[in-house]
Each structure stands twice: as structure tokens, then as C-alpha cells.
Structure 1
Amino acid sequence: ESIKNSELRYRRLFESAQDGILILDVDNGKITDVNPYLMDLIGYTYAEIIGKSLWEISPFQDIVENKAKFLELRQKEYVHYENLPLLNKTGKVIHVEFVSNVYLVNESKVIQCNIRDIEKRKKLEAAREIVLEGKVTLLRELKHRIKNSLAIIVGLINMESNRSSDPVIKETLLKIRNRINSISNLYNLLNSMNTVDEIQLDQYIEKMSGLLVQSYSNENYKINLELHLDKVPIDVDIALSVGLILNELVTNALIHAFPDDRSGSVRIALKHKNNDVIIEVSDDGIGLPPGFRVDDSEGLGMKLVRMLSEQIQGSFEKIACDKGAQFRIKFPFVRTI
């Protein structure tokens, strides 16, 4: 009685299952049972399926084209196809997930094939891809508009600087312009790399520092820029803070380290060491004022560097050196996943 009840429960589950089920003879591959769901899915009747070999049923010919492949399937005892197109009797292509297992029933081996219709899942995935693509397009358009807006702001600053004859105002406007340019360079790089959340920090530093040196150079004032940069991919938000930090440090070196149009070099080193990113900015100029301390500096630039270093959970320090000035920024390596 217990065995009969168990068989009855199994039969009810088999008949009502919302996945297609095939039972095969493990020796010859002939179909010994099929549930209603699969018959509806592929459009074949019970009589057209039972007793046939799996490779004789048109929808499954791609899975088992001949007996040799069936023997291979039987030997593996497990086969899984994530996305398999089946052609049903009416000619309609249905995408399914196909799983085949070998197991014992009353001390005899059988093969059970489970076939799940994944058409709805594929449509949802396609819809998600469309939504994602739309968001990416929107972000690109937003980046483009921000870049254009920053260019307009820079243009207005240049116009105001050209109108002014006060050297203090001109220097202040130049610093503001360079800060905005450091942000604009980031958006330019994002556009060129076709990404929205990560950039190569080495490329960003190379472009930004080169433009800074160029903006301060003239026929009588030649500064050499030395770059020693590891390749470091970095989150865009962190890159923005790093760009503003470097803008301040490089600008300070270009303005204060080489008075009276003397020549010299500014060096930037970028290293990825263990789980940290380390950036060192140095010059071979006249050096810092006696008693200079990073924490005591009241200048806007140094205050900005300290604030941004804390924002990226990093540290900022002055490094002792024989000539010129040297600073180090160190922060955790965080990459967008």
C-alpha cells in the first residue's frame, strides 16, 4: 500500500510538473515516458514519442544526433545546456534549459531529461539589457553635457583673466581654471575610454600634468616633466579627488619652486603596491620655506589637498629631501566591481 501511494504521488507530480520530463531507457535511448507539459511544448503526441529513440525526435536532434553521442551522454551521467533552441512540430523555435541525469529505479538505471521553457526569462533579460543600454546612453550624454558646460566656464574665466591687469587676480583665475580643467580632463578621458565608472589613473595623470606644465611654460620658462607611472585602474570618484590633489601640488611647484624663470624638473611617480596606491610629487626647485609643516599650512591649496586626502581615506605627508620639495599621497586601492 505504501509503495502504491508513493508511486501515485510521483505520478501526480510527473503529470502536473511545469517542466518537460522525458524518461529514457539507459541501454538503448528509447523514450519510456513523457509528461503532458513536454508534449504541449514540442507539439508531439504521446504515441509519436513513446518507444522512439531520443535522436529520432526532431526537437532533440541537436542534443543527440546519433547513438554514439547518446552513449557519451550516458557515460557522463549528467548533461546541462543553459540555453538550447528547440524546433517544435509547428516550426517555432523555443529556447529551453536542458538537464539530463542518470539514476537508479528499482536497481535499474534510467535517464531523466528535464526541459524548462526559458522564453519568458530571455525576454526579461532582453528587456533588462535595453534598460541598461538606455541608462549607459543617458550617462554618456550627461558626461558630454558636463564636459561642454565646463568648457564654457573655462572660456569665461579666460575672458575675465584677459580683461584684468591685476597679477593677483590673474593668478587666482588661472588656479581656478586649472582646477576646473582637472575635472574636465577626467570627463574627456571617460568619453575616450567608453566607460562610466572606472579609468586608468596613469593616463589621467599624464594628460592632466602635461596640460598644467604647458599652461605655465613660455619661451623663458622651461620646466621638464618626469613621469614614472604604473598602470592603475581606479574608481572615477576617487580619480576626481586625486586629480584635484595633483593639480594643487603640481601648480604649487610650477608657481613657487622655480622663481626668476629658472629651469627645473617636476617629477610624478605612481605606484600600486600591495593594496595601496602611492603617488609622489617632487621638484628640484628652491625648496619649501623654513619650518614648513603640511598640517599648519593655511593656504587654500594645502587645505584642499588635506581635505581630499581624508575624503579618499588616504594620507598626505611631506617627505624629507636634499633638494626641492617632495610630497606623498597614499590611499587604499579600490576598484569598481
Structure 2
Amino acid sequence: MFWEVFFPPEERGFIQNLFEEALEPPYRSSYEHQWRCRDGGSRLISFTISTYFEENTIQCYSVTGLDVTKLRRMEEELWRYRTDLEEQITQRSVELLDSRTRLAGIVDSAEDAIISVDSKQQITLFNYGAEKTFGYLKNEVEGRHLSMLIPNRFHDTHRKHVQNFGKSGKVSKRMNDRSEIIAKKKDGTEFLAEANISQVTVLGEKIYTVVLRDISERMMFEKRLQESLNEKETLLREIHHRVKNNLQVISSLFTMQKLRTEDPDRLSLIQESQHRIQSMALIHEKIYQSEDLSRVRFDQYIRELVTDIFQSYEVYPGKIELQFQMKPVSLHVDMAIPCALILNELTSNTLKYAFPDDSTGKMLIRIEEKPSKKLHLLFKDNGVGLPDSIEIKNVDSLGLRLVRVLTQQLKGKLELEREAGTSFSFHFPITSP
């Protein structure tokens, strides 16, 4: 028989059964057999047995064999690939679900309102922060148009803004320059909000996400704070004005006292005190006129102060050439007043003693702010100079004692030179209280 020739004994019974199966409709049976080749290898052959009849009598059997070795190997590889792919898909699905769960937790835990809409501006995401901000529950807004959260008068503007943003290609953008928009709560209340919009394309469809924060309370607080600050500035400005007026009253009292005094020494003391008071009054006047109530443009102040002192001592034109070498310098009032008193004393001393009788000369005032955050103040004249017997550390003059004390108060350094007149060089650290 056929199976006895081509098949080993252990398979012959099975092959005989296949031939018998081919006798029953559909008169065909199949079998795959690992066929051994002459070279010692093997091939997987798919056999098909067909029975042919003529007048209900078996005429013959047809046995065809097809080498399916490569086909089965490809199927096995495809099966392994499919199995691996399914495992990866399962793993990625678990990871994606975990990521979505964590993202949902983060989104819902955010205090800001986070709202996503599709290309038709229908709401697809509405977090817990949005529920608190707008007063709607998630299921009340999902699937509805975003315009329900915007006052009617802004519908067209908002729609065009989103459309233009979608065409811009930008990933994110503030809703406008100040990032402030008007939104509407469930009860119809309108409120000021700060918003940022972003876009992403998912499966060919654009998703827009808005992160929004109600800033009504913050703006109200800022308004009240600004009103309070304005009130305090007005009060502080008024205080400076009144201090200046009171100092001028004291200066006027000194003027009246001078009219009743004939003693030259007393007159000199009164005039010196009057100059000190006027130098402080001028500081308060400058601050009152300034936008910054804590600082004064010291270079501008010096010009006016020294000019007033010259006029007070009735220095005739041409006697003393006054030179200024100054750059714009702004000082805090706590530093400006001591520096002003120092300049007042030095200017007064120069006008009284440096150029006796009809002698003429020069006086130089230089001021600049160094990169090291130090103020350099130079006061120099080419007058007769200080006597060698006078030492700043042990001086009897009230004016020079005041200069020394104020320098120490400002933690400054003073250098005195007596060549070709007198030179006072100060270095003060600039502080900002």
C-alpha cells in the first residue's frame, strides 16, 4: 500500500485512517508530515488526499504534497510577534491608564480652573477647580459650548480669538497682553480672571486648554492697598510740607531775633543756626515736590542750597567763583539731611573765613556715586586755608565738630588737605533703608 512505502510504521495506521476519511464527504482529508530528506534534513509537507469516483465506484486516490516549511516558520514568527505586541499593548494600556489616573488626580487637585474644549469649542474637560470657580458641576457643562462661561457681549471676540490662536501655530499664549478676561459664573455673576490658553493636536483634531484663575479678590485687595498707599503718601507729603513750614517759622523767629541783637558774636550764632534750619527745610520742600517721598535728587538740592547760602552772606558777584561737578544722584532722606548739614557748615565757613576782605577765589563742589555703592563728596576752596593748629578730631568750632559727628553718623571717611587752600574729601556708603 502507499502508506507502507512512504511512511514509517508508527504513522501508517494514521495515514490509513486519512484514506478512509477521504471516502466520506467531502471526500478529502489533509495531513502535515515532517518529511525526511536524503541529505539528512527534513521538510514539513502538507498532504491532501482526494478520492475520485465513477458511478459510485472508487476510481483512484490523488495525493498532493506541498512544502509548507517556510510558511509555518513565518506563521510561528508572526504568532510570536503578535504575542509580544499584545503584551506590549497590554503593558502600555496599563501605563496609559495609570498616567491618565495620575493626570486626572493632578488636574482635579489644582486650585485653578482647567477647561479643555474641542475644535468646535465644546467642553471636554472641567476640573474641580473649574467647578468651584464657576459654580457648575462637571456633568452640567461637558459637551456644551464654552460660550456659556463668557458674557454675551464677548462671544464674538472670544470665538475669533480662539480661531486666530489656532491658526497661529503657537503652543500657548496669554489671552491678552495683561492676561485678564471677563468670565461668567452659573448665577450670572461676572468676574475678572487671569487666563492662559494652549493647544495640542490629537488624532488630527485640535484640543484647546485654558488655565484660569479668578483674580477678583486680588484686584480688589490691590485697589484697596493702592488707595491706602495713596492716603499714606498724601499724609506723608503733608507732614513734609508742615515740617518745612515749621522750620521756616523757626527761621523767621531767628530773623526777628537778629533785628533785636547787636552783638556780632550772637548775630553770627543766630545766622549759623538759621542756615542749618534752612538746609533741613529745603530737604523737606524738595521731598514734598518729589514723586518719591523717601528720596531726593541731591545734585539738584546742592545747587539750590549753596546758592541760598551765598545770597544770605551777600557775596557780591565775582568775589568767589562757584563750580559744580556733579552727576545725577538720588539719596534717601536719612542720608540727604546729614550730607546737607555738612555742606552747609563747610560753605558757611568758607564764606566767612577763606576769603577775607576783598580777596577773590574759587569754590568747588563735586559729587558722584561710585560703582562700589559709595558716595564721593569733595568740597574745595583756594582760600587762606585752615590753620595747622586745627585738627578735625579735636576741634572747638561747633561747625567743624558737627561735620565730624555727621561723618561718623553716616559711617563715612573724611580726608583733609591744606595745600592751595582747603579740601574736604568724604566717602560715604550708600544705604537704602
TM over 0.5: same fold?
yes
- Judge conservation of contact 1:84–1:95 (CA < 8 Å) in 2: yes
Structure with the greater alpha carbon radius of gyration: 2
Aligned to 1:128: 225
Distance 1:197 1:289 in 2: 39
Task: Tell me the distance in 2 between the aligned counterparts of 1:116 and 1:244.
Answer: 53
**Where does residue 69 of structure 1 map in the other structure?**
164
For 2:321 and 2:395, how far apart are their aligned partners in 1? 27
Deviation by residue 1:229-265 (Cα, 9 ceiling, x = unmatched): 2111111111101000101111110111122243333
Match of 2:126 among 34, 47, 52: 34
Distance 1:79 1:173 in 2: 69
Q: How does 1:309-328 map to 2 (within 5 A)?
A: 309-321=407-419, 323-328=420-425
**Aligned pairs (5 A) from 1:1-337:** 18-25=111-118, 30-35=122-127, 38=130, 50=143, 52=145, 62-65=157-160, 68-72=163-167, 75-81=169-175, 83-88=179-184, 92-102=189-199, 110-217=207-314, 222-275=319-372, 276-321=374-419, 323-334=420-431
Within 1, Cα distance between the matches of 2:165 and 2:136? 21
Distance 2:162 2:246 in 1: 68
Alpha-carbon distance in structure 2 between the residues aligned to 1:288 and 1:16: 77
Distance 2:334 2:184 in 1: 51
1:62–1:241 distance in 2 versus 1, CA, 3 Å: farther
Residue by residue, what CA displacement relative to the aligned partner does 1:257-303 show, whole Å, maximum 9, x if unpaired? 12224333322112223222211111222122134332232322111
Q: Contact between 2:363 and 2:379, CA under 8 Å: does it hold in 1?
A: yes
Q: Which amino acid aligns with 1:20?
A: A
In 1: Cα distance, 2:199 partner to 2:191 partner:
25
Which string of whole-angstrom CA distances, capped at 9 and with x for unpartnered residues, describes residues 23-77 of structure 1?
Answer: 133x66543233476478568896776264779965565455156413256x322
CA gap of 1:112–1:149, structure 2 versus 1, over 3 A, is same
Contact 1:100 1:111 in 2 (8 A): yes
* Range moving further from structure 2, 56-65 or 222-231: 56-65
Q: SS of the residue aligned with 1:208?
A: helix
1:242–1:2 distance in 2 versus 1, CA, 3 Å: same
Amino acid at match of 1:151: Q
**Bigger mean CA offset, 118-127 vs 94-103:** 94-103
1:80 deviates by: 3.2
Amino acid at match of 1:21: I
Return the letter of the residue paired with 2:386.
L
Distance change >3 Å, CA 308–CA 5, structure 1 → 2 = same
- One-letter amino acid of the structure 2 residue matched with residue 253 of structure 1: T
Does structure 2 conserve the Cα–Cα contact (< 8 Å) formed by 1:221 and 1:261?
Answer: no
3-state DSSP of counterpart to 2:393 = helix
- For residues 76 and 251 of structure 1, the distance between their equivalents in structure 2, rounded to whole angstroms, comes to 68
CA deviations over 1:180-233 (Å, ceiling 9, x no partner) = 111011011112223311111111110111111111125699433222221111
The count of corresponding residues between Structure 1 and Structure 2 is 333
For residues 10 and 271 of structure 1, the distance between their equivalents in structure 2, rounded to whole angstroms, comes to 58
**What displacement does 1:319 show?**
2.2
Using a 3 Å threshold, how does the CA distance of structure 1 residues 260 and 101 change in structure 2: closer, same or farther?
same
Aligned partners of 1:257, 1:96: CA distance in 2, in Å? 69
Aligned-residue Cα RMSD (Å) equals 3.5
* Contact 2:350 2:381 (C-alpha < 8 Å) held by counterparts: yes
In 2, Cα distance between equivalents of 1:251 and 1:227: 17
CA distance in 1, matches of 2:206, 2:163: 18
Where does structure 1 lack aligned partners over 5 or more consecutive residues?
none
Structure 1, 78-87 or 160-169: larger mean CA deviation: 78-87
Q: Is the 8 A contact 2:258 2:267 kept in 1?
A: yes
User: Aligned with 2:383: secondary structure?
Assistant: coil
